[in-house]
Amino acid sequence: MIEINVKLLYNAIISIGGFYMSKAKHGYGWVLKFILAAILLGVGIYMVFADEVVYAITGVTIVIFSLFRVYPLIKSLHKEILRTLNLIEIIFDTLIGILMIYIAFTYKDTLSEQAIWSQVYRYSLVFFFYARGLIYFNSVVFLGEKTEVPKFWIHIGILSLGAIIAVYPDFNYEFVGIFFLIISLIGAVYLGYDGYGGYKKYRTYSAELNEGVGKSKKKEKEAPRPVLEDPKEEEKRPYVN
């Protein structure tokens, strides 16, 4: 009896969980994706015209990129020297990102006027890209870290980008602002498309739900018909005293 009750309770929990999961699958996540797409696009457009926003977003991006790598990177590296090198890089990158955020909010009115802040911005990016590329190639060539072909060419591009930023005379915030705008456009299109798919599923689910309600009401109105048994079948039944 206890085993039957446990099985019934288990089946009930699974049924309720499945019901709520199916509702959550067709929920309102598409609304959040539409809003995020609009915000992302708006911020991307605004960054082209606001130097302090480019400065701050660059710093925030570097900090997030650095801190979110700590645990997976340290956990997956098997040599102590590799952990130490990458941890040093992450610490310096985080400090650079925090410095950028501080400058963006403290000297936002003088970023365009004083050349020192543009130089700090330029060489902070150069250090960030060069450090990532050099540590990667040092790990692969001298410390035996295995890699893939796409990652190899990506780090070639990272080193090249650092060199271009260092020597290009007309480098300024607008270049990075345009880059962020392109990323924002790609992200907004992705979120918008994903949100459209979610909204389409939601509307399909709503239509099916309404059709189901209509059918259930129609069934309730219909009176149940009595089932007439065949007398011959009734005679065939064994009589139990």
Query: How far lies 155's CA from each of 17, 58, 108, 150, in Å?
Result: 46, 19, 32, 9
Question: pTM for the whole thing?
Answer: 0.68
What percent of the chain is predicted at pLDDT more than 90?
32
* 69, 224 contact by CB (below 8 A): no
- Residue 131 confidence (pLDDT): 94
Q: What are phi and psi of 224, to 5 degrees?
A: -70, 135
- Residue 134 confidence (pLDDT): 93
Q: Please identify every stretch of the chain with a pLDDT value under 50, giving residue numbers as ranges.
A: 1-10, 12-14, 16-24, 239-241
123, 127, 116, 120: which is closest to 91 by C-alpha? 127
Contacts of 78 (CB under 8 A, 6+ apart): none
Token pair recorded at residue 93: 């990158």
- Residue 236 confidence (pLDDT): 53
* 198, 30 contact by CB (below 8 A): yes
- Residue 50 confidence (pLDDT): 81
Radius of gyration of the chain (CA): 31
The dihedral built from the CA positions of residue 9, 11, 17 and 22, taken in this order, carries a sign that is negative
* 191, 36 contact by CB (below 8 A): yes
